[in-house]
Each structure stands twice: as structure tokens, then as C-alpha cells.
Structure 1
Amino acid sequence: MVGKDRKFGLRGFSVTVSAVVLGIGLTVAAPAAMAQDVLVLAAASTKNAVEKLAEQFKAKTGAAVTSSFAASSALAKQIENGAPADIFISADLDWMDYLQKRDLIKTDSRVNLLGNELVVVVPKGSPLKPDLSKGGKLADQLGDGRLATGDPSNVPVGKYAKAALESLGQWTAVEPKLARADSVRAALVLVSRGEVPLGIVYRTDAAVDPGVEVAATFPPDSYPAITYPAALVASSKSPAAVALLDYMKSPDGMAVWKEFGFVPAPKAP
């Protein structure tokens, strides 16, 4: 469940990044507004923007928003296992499709909300310039270090990273040196702390952590267009949730997303 410590392997040993360290957890709702509360499960990369949108929505409507952030895969599985939720925001189409195929979202509410970019970050001040050329030497640049990103088997940022590295002919060499994090923010923390020399994250994540800087940007045609879909969860009976989702995609809501570096969702091919 969200909020518990998460573990993943790094250099042959276990690293734990807690929800407290990541700043990812539950926003406590005001008791007076409990009847109107909205519970949002959202991709970790949306944390800062969703929290600001929640504050604005409460100021406008009086309805409090409780938000929980993790990898889209973890949140989708929680919904599948019966966890209460009103709105789900995924960092890729696959995990929203996963829920839709199981009739766990309200299909008519589904919307492609946002887009993003894939970048390589380094600890602030690092001179390392990642080689993202075709057949480049990113693995050699890592030396004995690791490259942090989401676990490509299930975390959206890791899936995008794998696709990009495959496109550049570098995946086979880099894969053994991956630090497979359970969310994009967990990968970001490893770079920010200097525990790894490189990380692949979204541009929006790099923008909110002063401990990292963007060292390279992947060619946009090297990975599938990053799309964040949002939808009402099938079990939701909250009128406030409908209003919040409408607000998130309104001009005022989109201005907040833009403030945090998100871009409009890419057009469907």
C-alpha cells in the first residue's frame, strides 16, 4: 500500500526510500468536509501540481482532496484490489487501459490530460555529459556507477527509458547497470543524494528538485509520446470528484499543470 517503505536493489544490496523521504503520502482532509472529500490516486510525477490543484479546488468549493502518489502500476493494482478512490491519474496509457479492460474506471470520463519529456539528470554540479547518440557510450560513462530510473517491467518512466535506450542501441549495455526504482520520484532521490551518477526521469521531476540538473534530453522520437490519462474510478459516487476532474482539465487547471512544466497531452496518432 502507498505510504509504506519501498525497497529495490542497487549495486547488489537493498536500498529503502520511504514515502516520508520522497514527500509522497496522504494529504489529511479537513474533518468538516469529510462528506465531500475526493480521493485522488495519481502518478508520483504529478505530486506538486496535484497538491496545488487540490488547494485551489478546496478554496473554490470547500471540498477537501486527499491525494496519494506512487507509480501508476502500484496505484492501478490498489484500485484493482478494492482500494477506495475517486480519480486515477496515470503516467502512461497502459495502466489506464489495464483498469478500463476490467471495468474499474468510468470510461466516459477518461481523458488524456497531460504530456511530458524524458531527460537524464545528474547531481547538481556534476560535469558528466550523458552520451545519447545512436550506439553511444552511456554504459561506459557510468563506470562502476548505476543509472536510476523506474523499473522497466512496470513503472511508466522505466518503460519509456527502456524504449528510448533501445531506440538508441544502448539498452543491452546499460540494462545491467540499472538501479530499478519503484517510482520516478524514488529514482530522482537517488540522483539528488549523489548515490548514483545518472538518472532518467521526467522533465517535470527534474524541475522540482534543486539537487539535480538536466544533463541531456532524449530525442522525442526515441520513445512513445508520454501521455497522462485521467478518469473517474468506477466505484466513485462523489459529485465533488466529477467537479475536480473538470477543474483539472479547465483553463485554470491547465495553467497549474503548465506552471509545473507539464505540456498538453500529445494528439492521438
Structure 2
Amino acid sequence: MRTLTRSGFLAALVASALLGAGPAWAAEPVTVFAAASLKNALDDIAGAYAREGKPAPRVSYAASNTLAKQIEQGAPADLFFSADLDWMDYLAKQNLIRPDTRVSLLANSIVLIAPKDARTEVRMGPGLDLAAALGSGRLAMGNVEAVPAGKYGKAALEKLGAWAGVKDRVAQAESVRAALLLVSRGEAPLGIVYATDAAADANVRIVATFPADSHPPIVYPVAITKDSANPDAAALLAYLRGPAAKAAFEKQGFTVLNRATTAAQ
């Protein structure tokens, strides 16, 4: 009888522990491949997520083109968070994302920046003359053929008639944050970055904002990758669409769209 009582007691302890336990999470954290311009916001969101008792995601930041190519080559990402639609479409056409999870989550704008103490003034609009403002320096931008911020910047300069005057004087960086750093360190007198990047660096100032109609809409889509086997990926995606993440994104200057999209736009 004593043995039965002890067994029953142990069984009750196990049952109590199971009932009182929190939700079961995967052994591995969710891996997010995210555009470099998202770093400040996503770092804040990851911290808040962990403070709620959830496993902090592992976030890898780089230019969207670099991340998309890595996923194409089999890199183990659970979520892809791009700074433009093109690179998400690139993966979608290869069936490397789950289209039913795709969301156009954020919007942004691009700006012309200078070092914080520079007195550079530029009149933004058609006929923009950046060559004169650059002097003997170079214009820092993300790679204009691949990095989203570089592509947006080139489109805007072409629309405003300034590209021909500066195309041979562009310092093309591997990501928008690398372009930001060139200006922040005073290595380039002007640069083109996202408004959110400029707000994140006290060593630069915004000289002018490019008109929204001078470039394609700046949209950040996010989706779960096709090969993700992490059961927590959907929970993190839902959190990114929720109110806590919305506040963090808006704090950094993003506009939250939160539009589900199941096909390339």
C-alpha cells in the first residue's frame, strides 16, 4: 500500500508540473534574416519578446539581396524580412517562401544626409544639382543594382535629373547601414539612406527628403521561408504584426502597413 501511495504521489507531482508549465517552445530559436535598416527596431522587438517569456529570435542583418541569395543557397532562415518587394518576389518565384504567410508590413522613405556639423544645403526637386553639393567628395549609397536603398536612390536621382551628374562619383556600399557609416564618419559629404537610418545615427543630419513619387513605393515584406521547420516561426510573425511590435516600428520612424499579400505586387 505504501508503494502504491508513493507512486500515486509521484504521478500527481508530474501531472501538476505539466499542468503548471508554460507553453512548449522549440529547442532552437527562430532565425530571422532581416534587412540592415531594421536593426534598431528588431533589436528592441526581440528584447520585448524575450521579456514576455518567449525565446529571443536570432536575427541576421544584411542587405536584402545578400540575404535572399543566402536563402536561395540553403541558409537556414525561418523568416525573411526584406526592404523591398523585388527580393521577396525573387524568392517567391523560386517557391522559397510560404506565400500564405507573406505580409507587406512596413513603409519607409529615403533621405539625403550629411555629417551633423556640415552646412550643406540642397534644394530638392526637379533639376536637383548634387554634383555641386558634393564638391570633391563622393555620394554614399547602397549598391544601386542590388541593395534596395541604392535602387530607390538611383531611381529618385534619375527622376529628378541628377543621376548623370553623380553616377561616376558614387561610393557604392554593401548595405544601407554601410552607406550611413560612410557619412557618419565624415568619409562622404552626402549619402542616401532611409529616414529611419538617419534617425538612428546622431552623427548625421537630414538635408532633404526625396519626394515619394520620385521612386517606387518603399515596402518591407516579411514571410516564413518554405524550408522552415521551426514551429515558433508563426508565433513570431504574429508578434511582428501585433501592437507591441507596431509601437517599436513606429518609434524608429517606420509606417506600419500590415497588409497580407499572397502574390507578388
Alignment TM class, shorter chain as reference: 0.7 to 0.9
Identify if the C-alpha distance between structure 1 residues 51 and 120 changes in structure 2 by more than 3 Å, giving closer, same or farther: same
TM-score of the pair, normalised by structure 1: 0.85
Q: Quick check: 1:236 aligned with 2:228?
A: yes
Q: 1:254 to 1:84 in 2, by over 3 A?
A: same
Q: Cα distance, 1:87 vs. partner?
A: 0.5
Alignment of 1:265 with 2:257, yes or no, is: yes
Which residue of structure 1 aligns with residue 112 of structure 2? 120
Residue pair 1:36, 1:64 contacting (<8 A) in 2 also: no
**Deviation for aligned residue 1:34:** 7.0
The structure showing larger relative contact order (alpha-carbon pairs under 8 Å, at least 6 residues apart) is 2
SS at match of 1:54: helix
> For residue 19 of structure 1, what is the aligned residue in structure 2?
none
The one-letter amino acid of 2:155's match is A
User: Which of 170, 193, 202 matches 2:185?
Assistant: 193
- Greater C-alpha Rg: 2
Give, in whole Å, the separation in 1 of the partners of 2:132 and 2:138.
11
- The alpha-carbon deviation at position 64 of structure 1 amounts to 2.3
Q: Which residue matches 2:4?
A: none
Counterpart contact for 1:150–1:183, Cα < 8 Å: yes
Kindly indicate whether the alpha-carbon contact (under 8 Å) linking 1:131 and 1:138 is maintained by their aligned counterparts in 2.
Answer: no
* Local SS of the residue matching 2:86: helix
Unaligned runs of 5+ in 1: 1-32
Unaligned runs of 5+ in 2: 1-24
Structure 1 ranges of 4+ moved more than 3 A: 265-269
CA separation in 2, counterparts of 1:220 and 1:183?
21
Residue 5 of structure 2 corresponds to none
- Of the three residues 211, 221, 228, the one matched with 2:203 is 211
Q: Where does residue 177 of structure 1 map in the other structure?
A: 169
Deviation of 1:76 (Å): 0.2
Distance 2:192 2:142 in 1: 8
SS at match of 1:252: helix
C-alpha spacing 1:249/1:184, structure 2 compared with 1 (3 Å)? same
- 1:90 and 2:87 matched: no
- Give the distance between the partners of 1:171 and 1:100, measured in 2 at CA: 31
1:206-265 deviations in Å (ceiling 9; x for gaps): 011111011111111111110000000111121211101110011221111001110123
**Whole-Å Cα distance in 1 between the matches of residues 63 and 159 of structure 2?**
24
CA contact under 8 A between 1:124 and 1:211: conserved in structure 2?
A: yes
- SS of equivalent residue, structure 2 residue 52: helix
Give the whole-Å Cα distance in 2 for the aligned partners of 1:143 and 1:259.
35
Q: Which residue of 1 aligns with 2:152?
A: 160
| CA drift at 1:165 | 0.5
- Contact 1:227–1:266 under 8 Å retained in 2: no
Who is 1:66 aligned against? 58
Deviation, 1:131, is: 3.4
Equivalent residue, structure 2, for 1:245 = 237
Structure 1 vs Structure 2 CA RMSD: 1.6
The aligned residue for residue 148 of structure 1 is: 140
Equivalenced residue count is: 237
Structure 1 residue 223 corresponds to structure 2 residue 192: no
Query: Following the alignment from structure 2 to structure 1, what is the Cα–Cα distance between the partners of residues 212 and 54?
Result: 41
Tell me if the contact between 1:152 and 1:158 (Cα under 8 Å) persists in the aligned partners. Answer: yes
Deviations 1:118-170 (A, max 9, x none): 10110011100123231221112212100001011100000000110011011
Distance 1:105 1:256 in 2: 25
